[in-house]
Amino acid sequence: MTKATVGTVVSLWRYPVKSMLGEELNASLVTEEGLWGDRTYALLDSHGKTISAKSPRKWGKMFDCRAALEESSKVKITLPDGTVVLSDAAEVNEVLSQAFGQPVKLETVAPAEPSIEMYTPDIDGLPDQDQITDISIRPNTFFDAATLHLLTTATLNQLQTFATDSRFEPRRFRPNLVVQPTNGATGFVENDWVGKTLAIGDDVRLSVTKPCGRCVMTTMAQSELPNDLNILKTVMQHNQGNVGIYASVVQGGTIRRGDEVVVLES
C-alpha cells in the first residue's frame, strides 16, 4: 500500500434541505450516508415530486432560502424575507407554501424512485439544450448522484484563469469538502483521484467513484453572486463539464477542517 498526501481540508459544507443554501462547518461526523444531516430534507410539490433548483424558472427561489441544522436535529429555514421557521413547527408547510406561491411539503422520507426536473441551458456540448427533462436521482434519498462531493481549490483557480470576469467560488458548486492541494499543485488535480481511495483524518475512507458533471445550478445567482452562464460554458470548454469528484463512504468517522487528505493505492 502506497500513501501520498495530496492536500488539506480547508472547508466543509452541509446542505440540510436539498437545493437550499447550506452551512459551513468546522467538523462533521461522516457515515455511509455522507456528512451527518446533509440532504436529510427536501421539499416536495403537490404531486409528491422532489423539488430541485435545477429547474430554476419554477424553483429558483430555493437559492433564496438557507437551511441550518440545529443540535436537536431540527432544521432552521430562513426565507427570503427573513422569516425563520423550524422543521417541526406545525405551520412549516403553510409558511413554505406561502413563500413559494404554491403548495409544497417539507419531507424527510424520499420516494423509492425519486426524480427531479432539470433545465439544460443552451451551451455547446450539453445534451437537451434549452429543454426541461426528467432525471432519476439516487433511490430512497435526496442525493442526485452520490452521498459526498469534493473539489479542490486548484480546480477553481484553474477555471478562474480561463474566465477572469467570473467568480469561481466553492458555493457555486455546492461541495461537501474543499481541499487545498499540497506542494502548489495546479490544474484539475482531483480528476486523477477517480478510482482511488482517500484517507481523511484518522478514520474516514472514501472511494472516489467519478467526476462531478455540472448543471445550470452553477450559473444561478445566490446571495451577492450574480447569474453567470459563463461559469458553465467555461467548465464545458476546459474540463468536459466536470468540477470536482463524487465519492462513497467506505469507512466513517469525523472530518475536521485542517485534516490531511491522503491517496491510498495498493
Domains of the chain: 2-265 (2.40.33.20)
Sheet holding 75-78, edge to edge: 66-69, 75-78, 84-86
Average pLDDT of the segment spanning 118-128:
97
Q: How does pLDDT run across 37-75, given as a tens digit for each residue? A: 999 999 999 999 999 999 999 999 999 999 999 988 899
Q: What pLDDT, in 10s, does the model give residues 212-265?
A: 999 999 999 999 999 999 999 999 999 999 999 999 999 999 999 999 999 998
pLDDT of amino acid 121: 98
Q: Tell me if 151 sits within 8 A of 190, measured CB to CB.
A: yes
> Residue 100 pLDDT > 90, yes or no?
yes
Q: What is the pLDDT of residue 72?
A: 83
At 71, list the grid cell. 443540535
* Average pLDDT value over all residues in the chain: 97
pLDDT tens-digit series, residues 157-196:
999 999 999 999 999 999 999 999 998 999 999 999 999 9
Residue 143 pLDDT class (50, 70, 90 cuts) = very high
Q: What is the pTM of this model?
A: 0.97
Mean pLDDT of 114-131: 97
Query: In angstroms, what CA-CA distances link 180 with 7, 159, 183, 230, 258?
Result: 5, 15, 10, 24, 10
User: Would the pLDDT of 266 be above 90?
Assistant: no
